[in-house]
Structure 1
Amino acid sequence: MISPHADMWVWSLPFTKVSLDTFMKGSSIPYPAHSANTTRANDDPSSVVSCGDMKMEHEAPFPKDRARIAVIRRHWMIVPRRYAYWSGLICFFLGFMCSTAWNARSTVSLRNYIHMTALSLHHPPPPTVLVTGGLGFIGSHVVEDLTQHGFHVVVMDDMSNGRNFDVARNASAVLLKDITHLNDFSAISTRIDYVVHLAAAISVVESISQPDKYHHVNVDGSRHVLEWAKRHKVKRVVAASTSSIYGDVSAELMPLKEESATGGISPYATTKFDMEHLMEAYSANGLPTTALRIFNVYGPRQDPSSPHSGVVSYFMDQAFLGTDGRLEITGDGEQYRDFIYVKDVAVAIRLAMLSSDPHFDAFNVCTGTKTTINALAQEILETCASGAAIEYKERRPGDVRESVCDPTKAEVKLGFAAQYSYEDGIAATWAWILDRRRRRRRE
């Protein structure tokens, strides 16, 4: 029997039959019957209380009502009205589990059912991360790292810099959308906890001939991402910046610290520097943001056929050709870089995403070790056992001569330090190149 009193639902055991429609729809249920000598009859409309809009005094107006309520309080289980609906659902769910667990054919014990239910009640679902550019080189490794650590991932990508769908299959959703189109963000139907913003136009050389394109994608597109994240109360936005924003700094100022950024010497670097200023402005208005100045990344899935590809994948692609290959080095080859393996970058992004600092900050993502391009070429030729030749060409506009960073700030504030050595990273990348070639031959 279900009987209302004040703001409580009263459940009696054993239950008398009450129709499900009556219970769920909030239809009127008679108050406990009065004896014949009371002033109200059971069919008096005033003795009927609606479950949907019940509001009663804590003390019943008639003595016999008060007596019955006293009995109810002593012998019945009283459940607050606001919990009645969920209590009913939980009872139904537990009953279903018990009936299934006791089935002779069931292979799962009741203990396991109860354990799984307790876990679902006490452990909320994992956070969901939106990764823009998640089909690209770095993005695909970020998606892989996040899913391996239990995060749900939604990928947003226009396929301009990569199509790594084999990795994206582990994502909760893949949206083929463009960050420069504000309406495309309406396709995101899932509650997003964090944003990793990697979508960008990425070529230093192309940016010189198409500066408007780079401003549109890297500045306007980033503004769309930040505005959407602020409107949907995202916990943090982590965006990929670049080491190019330090410009062509003299060797005396190496290794580069975060406060040394000047904006760079190419439109690409300028747009990334402008993006950082946008992030700082949004952070001042309540959206936590972090910029990661990623140095020279290399590793699996960096497409050597792309005109925007890094030097490591390009050299390896040429080394694979043997004596027919040509490792073209711009300049004299004594310029040096700070090379970092892509899986280390993915870890840095995850650590930055989980930071509790509410303010904007920028971090170098690097190893702190410098390597000349000549040394890189020789290392690759030896690893690949290649007879390819080295050729020198004129230095490209927009290229900096020296670049190596100080990783201390990321180590202290994010707990990040690169784990892959230069030699191990080169070997792992070469193994991927070989495997990729073999798979293509089989296809």
Structure 2
Amino acid sequence: MAVLVTGGAGYIGSHTVAALVERGEEIVVIDNLQQGHREAVIGGKLYVGDLRDADVLDTVFKENNIDAVIHFAANSLVGESMKLPGKYYHNNVYGTLCLLEKMNEYNVKKIVFSSTAATYGEPENVPIDELDRTVPTNAYGETKLAMEKMMKWFDTAHGIKFVSLRYFNAAGAHESGRIGEDHAPETHLVPIVLQAALGQRPHISVFGDDYGTPDGTCIRDYIHVSDLADAHVLAVDRLRGGADSAVYNLGNGQGFSVKEVIEIARKVTSREIPMIIEPRRAGDPAVLVASSSRARNELGWNPKRNQLEDIIRSAWTWHQANPGGYSAKD
């Protein structure tokens, strides 16, 4: 039996493929390579195609004996989602509808969904709990919540069981050095800081240093990408064991401020990394940290790489070896 990984050529998807390879799973990947990279898929069978293409999905399900799906394929830029909400609804929500309909048609009844803590919007509690209200403040988070709700109703109507994993910031790179983070444009703090360390950016912008936090900058949850990959694999195991549908937060257990990330990056890289304080961005909460106690208790998830220095060091190793990202190898 095979695991289908949608968006498996992307950052977190490719690391999840690597985790599945390490345990000897049969893997099928579908990715339209809009943001993913062919070189990032280090195992399994890759189909280049879009979830909204019924012929592509028919081919994938007919040619492979799939028993579970891990669903990453989605657009994920918050700022872009506010300018182009239609793009996000069409790709994220409609794409998921196409996938779920084909899963039902081919009697595939298990799906693990890579969701986001952006489904919560402005947090009412810190750390955020799975039972907290979900009121997204951007179109990206709204589409992810719509995808979760769609899965709930497909479970009710068709018995497709799902696990939705909500988290904030993935960072780091695979210990093998073969895969890492390469987005265009890059919007994530850790790779942006490392680009500054490499001289690819003149400085790192810090948006606000007057928040009610110890050093005045925003605090966020950072999780090593390989720990996130492990959580997705554990969720597949839970569904294979007959568990009911569920939602889990994934968090490191502590938050790190923007200045902490920069300071540790300076230590890891031995580079200056110029920093400029700029005005706050609208809608940036002071602290976003998710509670992962339920995932630890029910999935047996135990992050192994939870030191920020180790996370940044793994990313630095990859970025030094691949300063142009995957494109330098094309």
Question: Are the counterparts in 2 of residues 302 and 309 from structure 1 also a CA contact under 8 Å?
Answer: no
Amino acid of the residue matched to residue 235 of structure 2?
A
Q: How does 1:252-271 map to 2 (within 5 A)?
A: 253-271=125-143
2:67 matched to which residue of 1? 193
Cα deviation, residue 343, structure 1:
0.3
SS at match of 2:88: helix
Structure 1 residue identity aligned to 2:228: V
Deviation at 1:308, TM superposition (A): 4.5
Q: 1:209 aligns with which of 83, 89, 111?
A: 83
Q: Secondary structure at the match of 1:260?
A: coil
Greater CA radius of gyration, 1 or 2? 1
Deviation at 1:166, TM superposition (A): 3.1
CA contact (8 A) 1:336 1:370 kept: yes
Q: TM-score, normalised by structure 2?
A: 0.89
Report the equivalent of 1:292: 165
Aligned counterpart in structure 1 of residue 102 of structure 2, from 225, 228, 235: 228
1:319–1:327 contact (8 Å) kept in structure 2? no
SS at match of 2:316: helix
Whether contact under 8 Å (2:85, 2:139) holds in the other structure is yes
| Residue in 2 that maps onto 1:330 | 207
Give the alignment partner of residue 315 of structure 1, picking from 173, 190, 193: 193
State the SS of the aligned residue for 2:297. Answer: helix
Cα distance in 1 for residues equivalent to 2:169 and 2:269: 21
Task: Provide the residue aligned with 1:353 in structure 2.
Answer: 236
- Would you say the 8 A contact 1:144–1:167 is kept in 2? no
1:419 aligned counterpart, secondary structure: coil
Asked if the contact 1:248–1:402 (Cα under 8 Å) also holds between the matched residues in 2, the reply is no
User: What is the total number of aligned residue pairs between the two structures?
Assistant: 311
State how far apart, in whole Å, the 1-side matches of 2:84 and 2:138 are. Answer: 11
Question: Any conservation in 1 of the 2:186–2:192 contact (CA below 8 Å)?
Answer: no
Query: What one-letter code is carried by the residue in structure 2 that aligns with 1:330?
Result: F
The structure 2 residue matched to 1:342, chosen from 204, 225, 231, is 225
Structure 1 CA distance for aligned equivalents of residues 242 and 202 of structure 2: 49
Q: Which AA in structure 2 matches 1:364?
A: N
2:268 to 377, 383, 389: 383
The structure with higher relative contact order (CA 8 Å, sep 6+) is: 2
Shift of 1:321: 1.4
SS in 2 for 1:329: strand
The yes-or-no answer on 1:431 pairing with 2:317 is yes
The residue identity in structure 1 corresponding to 2:152 is: E
Task: For residue 210 of structure 1, report the CA deviation from its aligned partner.
Answer: 0.3
Deviation at 1:182, TM superposition (A): 2.8
Q: Is the 8 A contact 2:58 2:102 kept in 1?
A: no
CA separation of 1:439 and 1:354: change in aligned 2, threshold 3 A: closer
Q: Deviations over 1:77-109 (max 9, x none)?
A: xxxxxxxxxxxxxxxxxxxxxxxxxxxxxxxxx
List gaps (5 residues or longer) in structure 2: 174-179, 210-215
1:393 and 2:270 matched: no
Residues in 2 aligned to 1:439 and 1:203: alpha-carbon distance in whole angstroms? 19
Query: After superposition, what is the alpha-carbon deviation per residue over 1:377-425, rounded to whole angstroms, capped at 9, x for unaligned?
Result: 1111221111121012233345433210111000111000211022211
RMSD, matched Cα:
2.1
How many Å apart are 1:282 and its aligned residue? 1.3
- Map of 2:288 onto structure 1: 403
What is the aligned-residue identity percentage?
29
Pair 1:241-2:127 in alignment: no
| Cα distance in 1 between the residues matched to 2:76 and 2:67 | 26
Deviation, structure 1 residue 313: 0.7
Matches within 5 A, 1:31-430: 127-163=1-37, 165-171=38-44, 173-188=45-60, 189-250=63-124, 253-285=125-157, 286-300=159-173, 301-303=180-182, 306-321=184-199, 325-332=202-209, 334-355=217-238, 356-420=241-305, 421-430=307-316
Contact kept? 1:129, 1:152, Cα under 8 Å: yes
The amino acid across from 1:134 in the alignment is G
The superposition leaves residues 330-386 of structure 1 with CA deviations (integer Å, 9 ceiling, x where unpaired) of: 222611101000000010000001113442211011112111111111111221111
> Contact 1:334/1:374 (CA < 8 Å) preserved in 2?
yes
Query: For the residues of structure 2 that align with 1:272 and 1:397, how far apart are their CA atoms?
Result: 21
Instruction: Give how far 1:207 is off.
Output: 0.2
Which letter does structure 1 place at the counterpart of 2:323?
A: R
Q: Which blocks of at least 5 consecutive residues in structure 1 are unaligned? A: 1-126
Structure 1 residues 224, 308: CA separation in 2 closer, same or farther (over 3 Å shift)? farther
Residue type of the alignment partner of 1:175: Y
- 1:205 is displaced (CA, Å) by 0.5
TM-score (norm 1): 0.67
- 1:418-437 CA-partner distances (Å, limit 9, x unpaired): 11022211111111111223
* SS of residue matched to 1:194: strand
d(CA) in 2 for partners of 1:174, 1:135: 9
Aligned partner letter, 1:190: N
Q: Retained in 2: the 8 A contact 1:367–1:417?
A: no
Tell me by how many angstroms 1:230 deviates.
1.8
Residue deviations 1:138-178 (CA, integer Å, cap 9, x gap):
11101111011111111100111121x3342421x211111
